Amino acid sequence: MSIKCSEKEIFNISDFKINELNKKAREIRAYTITAISAANSGHTGGSMSIIDILTALYFHELKYNPKNPDWEDRDRLFLSAGHKAPALYSTLGLAGFFDINEVVKLRRFGSGFEGHPNRFKVPGIEASTGSLGQGLGIAIGSALNAKYENKKYRVFCIMGDGELDEGSVWEAAMSAAHYKLDNLIAIIDRNNLQIDGLTCEVMEIEPLREKWEAFGWKVFFCDGHDIHDIVTKLHYAYEVKDKPIVIIADTIKGKGISFAENNYRYHGIAPKDGLEGKESLKEALANINCDSFSIEKAKELLGNVCQYQNKVNDLVEKNIPKFSTDYFWNKSDKMKVEMFPNRSGFGKGLDFIGEDKRVVVLGADITESIKMNSFYQEHKERKSRFFSFGIAEQNITTVAAGLAKEGKIPFIGSYGVFIAGRNWDQIRTTICYNNYNVKIIDAHGGISVGPDGGTHQALEDISNLYYLPNMKILVPADSIEAEKSTIIMKNINGPVAMRLAREATPLVTSYETPFEFGKANIIRYRGIQDNFIDAFDYKLSCDYFSENEDLAIIASGPVLTEAMRAAYILKEEYNIETRIINNHTIKPIDEDAIIKAVNEIGKIITIEEHQVGGIGNIIAGLVAKNQIVKEPYKFQMIGVKDRFGESGQPWELMNIFGLTAEFIAKSSKDFLNL
């Protein structure tokens, strides 16, 4: 679709320069894939597909000063599809904003090279992005400012094609035309793939030319891997008057790395660990074939990363409270646990309840990751009850409502930030006000999401959902609770949300463990066993009689397992008896269990992998207002302290944010003034 330009000279770009730029692109590719490889996570596909565009921009087109990133008259570039950050980092490094060798610390805690760009941490980043469909609006604000102030800077915005599923893009597009922002150039990385597969299958976005033209934009096409063509179309764009410009760049996802090219699996994964073998960094670098980036260079950089990580490890380790022994999961030959992500339990549950013909599943382009695919994996006939909607959280919410209205039981899901936030008004007005029977899978909750960083770590989802009338909320601790919760939520009529985690966490319950909606479990540590799970008693709160414990800890979700381990530490180290209250149902919460604990024990700690108080304040509120407290009680909340998450390894972050058992145990001891 691209129109090749044969008049190279008019843009003052020689073959020699093009060659140089292509070399630069290879260098960016080499650093980028090495960084992703070093991180062992990250978005290979999209990063590779935008590198030639970034090269053309940063090494031929943009005005900027790497020594003064805030130079007022610089051109602005916004990376709306923030997950392609590794490519931008390498580009900025090679453009002189910082030492390029730093980029291999990608997604490491404290490095600043977050999974999604953070403007406070990396020079040259114009705005922190990561939630799709928001960058164009920021760019419009910046371009509008230039118009108003009569500034000459240009504004560029790189978007993904999958991102065009988001209505917010079209909402923004309309306004850019309304304000005739001819200083705004959007570039679409049209690689035809998104997480769930081909864009035309996940959600057809074509005809793109007609769409953008109808929204009042001037449209150009280019070959997104032909730097000359990119530059040409940029220069065409500069000539446009009174209209914003979009350049649709035909690209190849994973471009330059044979095994990643056009391979949707490489949307969000790194090449295989290590430097050897198929689909390894070595193979990738061989494909890229960058003169100035040898395999030795890669080894050196990977070595630097190891050193950096060792420092992080030391820092984290030093900060962890110490006890007479190492109580961490599976560190001794007793108290063993298996680890599963609780999203897997949801998958099993969904597989089971899928038999009910009323169950339908709506995909938001993250189907496999949150185990929505378990619905049809073993039952191909159920594919007819799976509906793909792409990256369109608002729309799946209202469509689910329409399906529920007609008697279906729709499940929708995505990262918690997006499925309990992006669509908040839809949940409120269309689902809750109508009391429609829609099930919300609030996946990837909490900081343990890990290297994706703050934009993708839901820490406000519970408070967003809790205050909505008619909503019910489950937060299962482990895979088995998630499976049970899935079956329960299907059987409840009306809106129900379930929060899940991304990471593998300990399995601490069994199919035999009592589990009732709206009823907390009381868990008591009884002494060391071979298996962690056997070291505890589990009872429904209504069946439990006080043992006059020293302390009650209230938790739900995977942090419950940390609370259990804290109880184990507290008993073994200090002979402290802990009543653990598993309030897996956040709404309606088991008030009796909590009030009993206050009356019987009077010392309460709440733990949440959420902004502190999101759950803790609810508990504090119900205790306070019940007015049953005859004696003063002590109350402490542990959670995330009014801050965003950041990139790092899940367990690293859990320690850094003070949410593991060691911190809970130490806090508990201090709290009890022992």
The C-alpha atoms of residue 445 and residue 459 are separated, in whole angstroms, by: 7
Does position 627 interact with a copy of itself (CB under 8 A)? The reply is yes
The C-alpha atoms of residue 139 and residue 153 are separated, in whole angstroms, by: 12
Specify the DSSP class assigned to residue 366: -
Q: Which amino acid is at 239?
A: E
Q: Which of 455, 485, 655, 667 binds a copy of itself (CB under 8 A)?
A: 455
Does position 131 interact with a copy of itself (CB under 8 A)? The reply is yes
Nearest to 538 by CA among 496, 487, 484: 484
Pick 28 or 139: Cβ nearer a copy of itself: 139
Instruction: Determine whether 42 is exposed, middle or buried from the number of CB atoms within 10 Å of its CB (0-12, 13-18, 19+).
Output: buried
Does position 601 interact with a copy of itself (CB under 8 A)? The reply is no
Q: DSSP states of 540-607 as a string?
A: EGGG------SEEEEE-TTHHHHHHHHHHHHHHHH---EEEEE--EEES--HHHHHHHHHHT-EEEEE
Query: With CB under 8 A as the contact rule, which of the stretches 9-17, 105-113, 267-275, 615-623 interacts with a copy of itself?
Result: 615-623
Q: How far is the CB of 122 from a copy of itself (least distance, A)?
A: 13
Does position 616 interact with a copy of itself (CB under 8 A)? The reply is yes
Q: How far is the CB of 283 from a copy of itself (least distance, A)?
A: 35
Q: Which of 236, 259, 424, 517 binds a copy of itself (CB under 8 A)?
A: 424
Q: Are 471 and 434 in contact (CB under 8 A)?
A: no
Return the residue matching tokens 């959670």: 639
Q: How far is the CB of 669 from a copy of itself (least distance, A)?
A: 15
Does position 449 interact with a copy of itself (CB under 8 A)? The reply is no
Cβ neighbours of residue 300 under 8 Å, at least 6 residues apart?
none
Does position 167 interact with a copy of itself (CB under 8 A)? The reply is yes
Q: DSSP states of 551-568 as a string?
A: EEEEE-TTHHHHHHHHHH
Does position 386 interact with a copy of itself (CB under 8 A)? The reply is no
Query: With CB under 8 A as the contact rule, which of the stretches 22-30, 299-307, 423-431, 487-495 interacts with a copy of itself?
Result: 423-431
Does position 618 interact with a copy of itself (CB under 8 A)? The reply is yes
The C-alpha atoms of residue 236 and residue 494 are separated, in whole angstroms, by: 54
Q: Are 638 and 609 in contact (CB under 8 A)?
A: no
Query: With CB under 8 A as the contact rule, which of the stretches 324-332, 462-470, 488-496, 654-662 interacts with a copy of itself?
Result: 462-470
How many Cβ atoms from other residues are within 10 Å of residue 238's Cβ?
13
Query: With CB under 8 A as the contact rule, which of the stretches 22-30, 206-214, 261-269, 571-579 interacts with a copy of itself?
Result: 206-214
Does position 611 interact with a copy of itself (CB under 8 A)? The reply is yes
CA distances from 97 to 121, 138, 433 (A): 12, 22, 50
Does position 1 interact with a copy of itself (CB under 8 A)? The reply is no
Locate the DSSP E strands across 197-349: 197-198, 218-223, 245-250, 339-341
Pick 179 or 259: Cβ nearer a copy of itself: 179
The C-alpha atoms of residue 282 and residue 127 are separated, in whole angstroms, by: 33
Q: Site residues for a copy of itself, window 342-381 (CB under 8 A)?
A: 360
Query: With CB under 8 A as the contact rule, which of the stretches 21-29, 124-132, 229-237, 492-500 interacts with a copy of itself?
Result: 124-132
Q: Site residues for a copy of itself, window 90-119 (CB under 8 A)?
A: 118-119
Does position 194 interact with a copy of itself (CB under 8 A)? The reply is no
Q: Are 105 and 98 in contact (CB under 8 A)?
A: no
Does position 629 interact with a copy of itself (CB under 8 A)? The reply is yes
Return the residue matching tokens 């996802």: 253
Q: How far is the CB of 438 from a copy of itself (least distance, A)?
A: 10
Q: How far is the CB of 374 from a copy of itself (least distance, A)?
A: 20
Pick 184 or 305: Cβ nearer a copy of itself: 184
Query: With CB under 8 A as the contact rule, which of the stretches 60-68, 268-276, 632-640, 647-655 interacts with a copy of itself?
Result: 632-640
Pick 26 or 610: Cβ nearer a copy of itself: 610
The residues facing 606 across adjacent strands are 554, 637
Q: Which of 2, 32, 129, 660 binds a copy of itself (CB under 8 A)?
A: 129
Q: Site residues for a copy of itself, window 209-268 (CB under 8 A)?
A: 210-211, 213-216
Euclidean distance between the first and the last CA atom of the chain, given in angstroms as a whole number? 73
Q: How far is the CB of 598 from a copy of itself (least distance, A)?
A: 10
Does position 150 interact with a copy of itself (CB under 8 A)? The reply is no
Q: How far is the CB of 137 from a copy of itself (least distance, A)?
A: 3
* Three-state SS at 408: coil
Query: With CB under 8 A as the contact rule, which of the stretches 231-239, 258-266, 278-286, 620-628 interacts with a copy of itself?
Result: 620-628
Strand 578-582 relative to strand 521-525, pairing: antiparallel
Q: Which of 141, 197, 321, 518 binds a copy of itself (CB under 8 A)?
A: 141
Q: Which of 41, 168, 513, 647 binds a copy of itself (CB under 8 A)?
A: 168
Q: How far is the CB of 561 from a copy of itself (least distance, A)?
A: 23
* Three-state SS at 223: strand
The C-alpha atoms of residue 352 and residue 41 are separated, in whole angstroms, by: 31
Does position 152 interact with a copy of itself (CB under 8 A)? The reply is no
Q: Which of 22, 635, 651, 672 binds a copy of itself (CB under 8 A)?
A: 635
Give the number of residues in contact with a copy of itself, rule: CB under 8 A.
118
The C-alpha atoms of residue 166 and residue 399 are separated, in whole angstroms, by: 15
Q: Are 21 and 51 in contact (CB under 8 A)?
A: no
Does position 663 interact with a copy of itself (CB under 8 A)? The reply is no
Does position 418 interact with a copy of itself (CB under 8 A)? The reply is yes
Locate the DSSP E strands across 416-461: 439-443
Q: Which of 34, 44, 90, 175 binds a copy of itself (CB under 8 A)?
A: 175
Does position 554 interact with a copy of itself (CB under 8 A)? The reply is no
The dihedral formed by the CA atoms of 536, 542, 546 and 547, expressed in degrees to the nearest 10: -20
Pick 220 or 532: Cβ nearer a copy of itself: 220
Query: With CB under 8 A as the contact rule, which of the stretches 90-98, 307-315, 334-342, 426-434 interacts with a copy of itself?
Result: 426-434
Q: Which of 108, 255, 422, 666 binds a copy of itself (CB under 8 A)?
A: 422
Specify the DSSP class assigned to residue 609: E
Strand 359-363 relative to strand 409-415, pairing: parallel
Q: Is the peptide bond before 514 cis (omega within 30 degrees of 0)?
A: no
Does position 421 interact with a copy of itself (CB under 8 A)? The reply is yes
CB burial string 579-610: b at 16+ within 10 A, e below: bbbbbbbbbebbbebbebbbbebbbbbbbbbb
Q: Which of 44, 426, 509, 668 binds a copy of itself (CB under 8 A)?
A: 426
Specify the DSSP class assigned to residue 390: -
Does position 623 interact with a copy of itself (CB under 8 A)? The reply is yes
Q: Which of 90, 251, 342, 464 binds a copy of itself (CB under 8 A)?
A: 464
Pick 259 or 635: Cβ nearer a copy of itself: 635
Does position 32 interact with a copy of itself (CB under 8 A)? The reply is no
Nearest to 496 by CA among 395, 425, 400: 400
For the chain, give percent helix, strand, coil, nearest 5.
45, 15, 40
Q: Which of 16, 148, 511, 545 binds a copy of itself (CB under 8 A)?
A: 148
